Amino acid sequence: MTHLHFDHAGGLPDFPHAQVHVHRREYESMLRPRHPLELAYDRADFAHGPLWTLYDRPDEDWFGFEAIRLPFEPEMLLIPLFGHTRGHCGVAIRDDAGWLFQCGDALPTNAEFELTPNWLNRLAIGPHVPRLQGWASDHPEVRLLAGHMRQSFFDADPQD
Ligand SMILES: [Zn+2]
């Protein structure tokens, strides 16, 4: 999970036996919300007692980001992008087409960098947009996703 807000974790009760991999800071943030954005956790999403696997130590570098390797296939790493919540992370996933970087709520909708002004981004989604913008232009081979994508993204012809 990138983070545990209701609009990301609301489906967890549908998978009661799932192992939930999340940063330890995010788990603790959900237990003890402090910041106004952390009020978007809904305890009902966790009432079934998820099987948590918590991580807190970056153990490698992934294209310049501190990264935490997850112990399974496909290859996947948690990339700490704290700010939207105290424990928010991106998730890098390697599939047959290469790397996919799910930036969760650290990027504006549809990963469109100019969508909202920087001051609003800093307040709502954290400080990472400028860095991710520069990083994305240096790494066009990595596909970036935001946590909230408009339908047009899924409707687009992948050949375009
Ligand atoms: Zn969120």
Give tens-digit pLDDT for 14-56: 999 999 999 999 999 999 988 887 789 999 999 999 999 999 9
Strands (E) located in the chain: 19-23, 51-55, 60-62, 65-69, 76-80, 89-95, 98-102, 143-145
Going from the Cα of 134 to the center of ligand 1, the distance in angstroms, rounded, reads 23
Going from the Cα of 20 to the center of ligand 1, the distance in angstroms, rounded, reads 17
Going from the Cα of 89 to the center of ligand 1, the distance in angstroms, rounded, reads 11
Spatial neighbors of 159 by CB under 8 A, at least 6 apart, are none
Pairwise CA distance, residues 25 & 16, whole Å: 22
Residue 8: phi and psi, rounded to 5, are -115, -35
- Read off the tokens for 63: 């294209």
Going from the Cα of 21 to the center of ligand 1, the distance in angstroms, rounded, reads 16
pLDDT, tens only, 104-130: 999 887 666 666 777 777 777 888 988
Please, which pLDDT band fits residue 159 given cuts at 50, 70 and 90? low
Give residue 83's region: left, alpha or beta (phi > 0; psi -120 to 50): left
Going from the Cα of 3 to the center of ligand 1, the distance in angstroms, rounded, reads 7
Question: What is the DSSP annotation of 2-24?
Answer: ----HHHHTTGGGSTT-EEEEEH
Going from the Cα of 39 to the center of ligand 1, the distance in angstroms, rounded, reads 10
Going from the Cα of 122 to the center of ligand 1, the distance in angstroms, rounded, reads 13
pLDDT, tens only, 76-108: 999 999 999 999 999 999 999 999 999 999 988
